[in-house]
Amino acid sequence: MPTVTVSFTPLPAHVRTARFIAASVARRAGVPETVLDEVRLAVSEACSLAVRLHRASAPEVPVELRMVEDDKKFRIQVVDAVPRARPTEDDVYAALSIGDDDGVALASAEGAVDLQARERIGLAVITGLVDEVDVEYLANGTVVAMAWPLELAEREEASSLPSMGG
Amino acid sequence: MDLSLSTRSEGDRTVVVVGGEIDVYTAPKLREQLIDLVSAGNYHIVVDMESVEFLDSTGLGVLVGGLKRVRAHDGSLRLVCTQERILKIFRITGLTKVFPIHSSVDEAVAATD
């Protein structure tokens, strides 16, 4: 199960680096070209959120980006070290309804003042983009896990390799 | 590619041409530009996004902030964008209902409603 793990200091500039790495590894894994824009955007949302949270309460702790390729899926996890409560489902959907109130939720999130609103909006975008999303709120932080199906044609080379056993 | 910004006047409209990537790192630059324009009395702004290569919700937040600022002066903020990959995030967030989105700068400059 090929994996790439990157940890980076929570600097806004590194979110771009995270996008590049994620897209590059996804392409190599066989994620369709048409889907790479979604991978970039989802990773950007998850990493921007993690960077904001770390800068507010754990600036010395790196954010972790994990990419895992298995038989059928390409998985990305963005791991932060800021324990917090899960936003309620209502809140996520409230963030989606910003079209009805002149974008008040987004504007209040501008400048990273309101981290909770940022989290709701970031998760709303990720949920709107990616079919398979799971956000785990743990005692030591949060894992945003996303998965994309791989094109079967791209898998032939790997499946023809001799089994390494174990 | 980093963010590039340039502005020009077309009649009573101010056109901001944005290129490159708008994310958590570069968005503050765009926010400052919009704040400066409004502070200088430019209340009808057209943001040309045809050369934008990447936009996430941080960038959307800045555009919404700009919209609120011009609206406080009875102004307008129009977007020019035909790129599907950029339009997608406007649709996901419902912001297509908030921003007038045009297919060319000429169309945006001519728009009055």
Class of domain B4-110: alpha beta
What is the reported pLDDT for A88? 72
Q: pLDDT in tens for each of the 166 residues of chain A?
A: 789 999 999 999 999 999 999 999 999 999 999 999 999 999 999 999 999 999 999 999 999 999 999 989 999 999 999 999 887 766 555 554 443 444 445 554 444 346 777 888 899 899 999 999 999 999 999 999 999 999 765 445 555 555 554 4
Per-residue confidence band for B24, with pLDDT thresholds at 50, 70 and 90: very high
Domain boundaries of chain A, sorted by first residue: 3-81+122-150
Q: Which two tokens stand for residue B74?
A: 């009875």
- Which of A76, A24, A88 lies closest to A50 in space, CA to CA? A76
- Across the interface, do B56 and A128 touch by the CB < 8 Å criterion? no
By C-alpha distance, the chain B residue nearest A96 is B93
Domain range list for chain B: 4-110
Are B49 and B19 in contact by the 8 Å Cβ rule? The answer is: no
Distance CA A126, CA A27 (A): 19
Residues of chain A neighbouring B60 (CB-CB closer than 8 A): 106
Per-residue model confidence (pLDDT) at position A119: 87
Of the two residues B87 and A1, the one the predictor is more confident about is B87
Q: Check A98 against B21: CB less than 8 A apart.
A: no
Give the list of residues 6+ apart from residue A134 with CB closer than 8 angstroms, or none. Answer: A145
Q: Are A87 and A116 in contact (CB under 8 A)?
A: yes
Half-sphere exposure of residue B39, counting CA atoms within 13 Å on the CB side? 6
Of A44, A100, A107, the CB nearest to B23: A44
ipTM above 0.90, yes or no: yes
CATH number for the domain running over A3-81+122-150: 3.30.565.10
CB nearest to A106's CB, from B23, B25, B60? B60
Q: How many helices (H) and strands (E) does chain B have?
A: 4, 5
Q: Are A123 and A96 in contact (CB under 8 A)?
A: no
Going by the DSSP 8-state scheme, the letter that residue B54 receives in this structure is E
Residues on chain B touching A121 (C-beta within 8 angstroms): 57, 61, 93
- What are the structure tokens assigned to A7, written together? 């940890």
Q: CA A8, CA A55: separation in Å to the nearest integer?
A: 12
- Taking an 8 Å cut-off on Cβ atoms, the answer to whether B24 and A15 are in contact is yes
Residue A113 confidence (pLDDT): 47
Chain B nearest CA to A97, separation (Å): 7
**Least CB-CB distance to A97: which of B31, B56, B94?**
B94
Q: What is the pLDDT of residue B36?
A: 96
Per-residue pLDDT reduced to its tens digit, B36-45: 999 999 999 9
Mean of the per-residue pLDDT values of chain B: 94
Going by pLDDT thresholds of 50, 70 and 90, the confidence category of residue B63 is: very high
